[in-house]
Structure 1
């Protein structure tokens, strides 16, 4: 009997929103982390991101502004964790 795998996090809608390549790339990186069962944190993203930290920060802000990801409430403000937002709520 095949092992059921959860549905991949990535949504095709990201490609039709007219976003910059860097923004889409960061979204795909966020999805890869989720699919691997890892939290979306700045440290986890920076470890895989191949551009500057400044560009990473800018693209994170763009994803948050478009409600594609959001900050998840946590105890430690220095350890921000993001979560993906359902595509029906994207802007």
Structure 2
């Protein structure tokens, strides 16, 4: 895969694969998703080093933070619809 935007790929993966309800409290809760993400990235020609760099060095924590941000956005969308 040539000239892939790893940050964009990772954001797309997050949007397509993080669907856990509610906030995630611990990185351990995201371990399986992080492994799946790494496997897909490798299959798409993205090295683990590139993936970790795009995630700020810690893929599990990145996924926890993104899941929590998505949960917060969804909660905000729901509360604005209820108003």
TM-score range, shorter chain: 0.3 to 0.5
More strand by share: 1
Normalized against structure 2, the TM-score is what? 0.45
Higher relative contact order (CA 8 A, sep 6+): 2
More helix by share: 2
Normalized against structure 1, the TM-score is what? 0.42
